[in-house]
Amino acid sequence: MAPTLYMIPPSPPVRSVLMTAKALGLTLNEKIINFPAGEHLQPEYLKLNPQHTVPTLVDDDGFAVWDSNAINPYLIGKYAKDDSLYPQDLQKRAIVDQRLHFNGSVAFGAVAGIVRCILYEGKTCLDDNDKTRVEQVYAFLEAFLDDGKPWMAGDCLTVADYNLYATVSAGDVLVPIDGQKYPKVATWFDKVGNLPEAEATKKGLAIFESLISSKLQ
């Protein structure tokens, strides 16, 4: 039986799980959560995830975990043929972990904060503060890539690239990446976007883009 992913297609963290699953050749049973109808606050869902967020993964033995930064390493550990996406080497892994915590707290924090205001608080345009916040994320990522290595955590593609790509692709909708200011980020973004597994994120990203553009003036 395939693991179940509770999700909504446009969510960046959901898209990172879809990308990871595709890279692993893993089929997920996708279940859309109806947020407007309050489905995320129903007792059945709260039992799986008391934080009532998406994505939530329920593995085939009933084990439930949420937060894409925890889900993806779990899926890789369980289903990957090798450890390249989440290295067993402790130093390489520590760098990936640091990038994942950056993704969750700083990068997604910036993007989600703005998106929340647009979707739920009637914000109709981005102000200078918003643009600065997103650009600060790009500046950090440009610095992560400063050593000339091709991927966010070094020489090899890892889950850090997937999770950051999902967040940055949402950021790019809000504040397009300026290739002059952030050339390494722009190159990395195109490279990850052209990976076969990125295909799994495109449908949700298109929904996200139209959601945002329908609210912004």
Partner 1 sequence: MSIKLYYALPSPPCRATLLTIKALQLEVDLVPINLVAQEHLTTDFLKINPFHTLPTIQDEEFYIWDSHAINCYLVDKFGEDDGLYPRDLQRRAVVDQRLHFDSNVLSARFAAIVSPILREGARIIPKDKSDALLQGLTLLESLLEKSYYVTGNTLTIADFSLVATVSSANAVLPLASNRFPNIFEWLARMESLPYYQEANQEGLDAFATMLKSKHLVRQASAVK
Segment near partner 1 (CB under 8 A), from 99-107, 114-122, 169-177, 187-195?
Answer: 99-107
Residue 11 contacts partner 1 per CB under 8 A: no
51 lines the binding site for partner 1 (CB under 8 A): yes
* Position 35 contacts partner 1 (CB under 8 A): no
Q: How far apart are CA 203 and CA 143, in angstroms?
A: 30
67 touches partner 1 by CB under 8 A: yes
The answer to whether 27 and 53 are in contact (CB under 8 A) is no
Distance from C-alpha of 134 to C-alpha of 171, rounded to nearest angstrom: 7
Selected from 1, 81, 91, 124, the binder of partner 1 by CB under 8 A is 91
Q: Which stretch binds partner 1 (CB under 8 A): 27-35, 58-66, 120-128, 205-213?
A: 58-66
Closer CB to partner 1, 51 or 124, in the complex: 51
> Quick one: which of 144, 123, 152, 142 has its CA closest to 186?
142
Q: Which of 124, 131, 141, 127 is nearest to 110 (CA)?
A: 131
Give least dist CB 115 to partner 1, A: 15
Binding flag, residue 188, partner 1 (CB under 8 A): no
| Of positions 29, 34, 42, 105, contacts partner 1 by CB under 8 A | 105
138: contact with partner 1 by CB under 8 A:
no
Select from 37-45, 96-104, 125-133, 183-191 the region that touches partner 1 (CB under 8 A): 96-104
Q: Is residue 11 annotated as part of the catalytic site, yes or no?
A: yes
Select from 30, 39, 97, 209 the one that contacts partner 1 (CB under 8 A): 97
The sheet with strand 4-7 has its strands ordered as: 29-32, 4-7, 56-58, 64-66
**Mutual orientation of helices 12-24 and 159-174 as an angle, nearest 10°?**
140
- ∠ at Cα 164 (139, 65), nearest 5°? 140
Q: Which is nearer to partner 1, 97 or 209 (CB)?
A: 97
Alpha helix (H) residue ranges in the chain: 12-24, 43-48, 68-79, 90-102, 108-120, 128-144, 159-174, 183-193, 199-215
54: left (phi over 0), alpha (psi -120 to 50) or beta: beta
Q: Does 132 bind partner 1 (CB under 8 A)?
A: no
| Residue positions annotated with a catalytic role | 11
Q: Which residues bind partner 1 (CB under 8 A)?
A: 50-51, 59, 63, 65-67, 69-71, 73-74, 77-78, 90-91, 93-95, 97-98, 100-102, 104-105, 108-109, 140, 143, 146
